[in-house]
Amino acid sequence: MPLPAEFSDLELYAAWALPTEPERYAKRLASSMEEMQAFYDAAFARLEDAIAYCDALPWDDLPGDARSLLHLMQSLVMVSFPVEVWKQARVPDSGAAYLDLVVEPVV
């Protein structure tokens, strides 16, 4: 699903607009730090605009393009700690531990 026209500058990163946490986590693990940094830089610059755009719409019936934008920003959250703190995709010192999210906040 494409992003809203106002966010066409982020279309390059549309592959990050994934609807579930496991998909977003898998994308994070499969991406290089350079890819995550480029996505982070582009998406973070538009975060406030994206929040304002989505907040102006009914949350219980988001149009498809707005839902894609929301998922893109959820992926931004997914890469924020690796980019800002850890400088690696995996959680440091976590070994084989993992968490499974059983309910998505907005799908």
Residue 91 in any domain: the answer is no
Across the range 27-49, mean pLDDT stands at 96
What's the token pair of residue 45? Answer: 């610059």
- Give domain status of residue 59, yes or no: yes
Question: What radius of gyration, in Å, describes the C-alpha atoms of the chain?
Answer: 14
Domains: count for the chain: 1
Query: What share of the chain has pLDDT > 70, as a percent?
Result: 80
Is residue 107 assigned to a domain?
no
Find the helix packing angle between 47-55 and 64-81, rounded to 10°: 140
Does residue 97 form part of some domain?
no
What is the model's pTM?
0.83
The rounded mean pLDDT for the chain is: 88
Cα(20)–Cα(17) distance, integer angstroms: 9
In a domain, 9, yes or no: yes
Distance (Å, rounded) from C-alpha 61 to C-alpha 53? 14
16 found inside a domain: yes
d(CA 93, CA 32): 19
Q: DSSP label at 40?
A: H
Range of the domain at 71: 5-86
Span 51-100, pLDDT tens digits? 999 999 998 999 999 999 999 999 999 999 889 876 667 555 444 545 56
Does residue 96 sit within a domain? no
